[in-house]
Amino acid sequence: MQIKIDNFLGNPVNAFRRAGYSFQRQAGDEMSFARPLAAQGYPRFHIYSKIENGSLIANIHLDMKKETYGDNTRHHGEYGDEGALKDEVRRLGAVLG
């Protein structure tokens, strides 16, 4: 699910930190943030964000558990726009602005 905040003037790290997210890493112009929902670290909300033409673009999903590896890389995430993810997007819209 994608969030777009037009005319974003702030710092994404500070903005997501105010929303309860921890900065994970930066690769090029894209930054990764996470907000765990349990002490073990999963499930967690996971965001990839970047600034593009003055807008903050954030792609968010819900990781249900840690990725598993084997013959195939499997990512156990939810990407739909309902339930907890929809509520979190609404909350982020209010915090980020």
Specify the pTM.
Answer: 0.84
Query: Average pLDDT over the chain, rounded to whole?
Result: 87
Q: Which of the four pLDDT bands, split at 50, 70 and 90, describes residue 66?
A: confident
Q: Which of the four pLDDT bands, split at 50, 70 and 90, describes residue 68?
A: low
CATH no., domain 2-96:
3.30.310
Burial 11-47 (b: 16+ CB within 10 A, else e): ebeebbeebebeeeeeeeeebbbbbbeeeeebbbbbb
Q: What is the pLDDT of residues 70-95, one digit of tens each?
A: 554 555 566 667 788 999 999 998 99
Q: Where are the domains of the chain?
A: 2-96
Residues 21-36 have a mean pLDDT of: 96
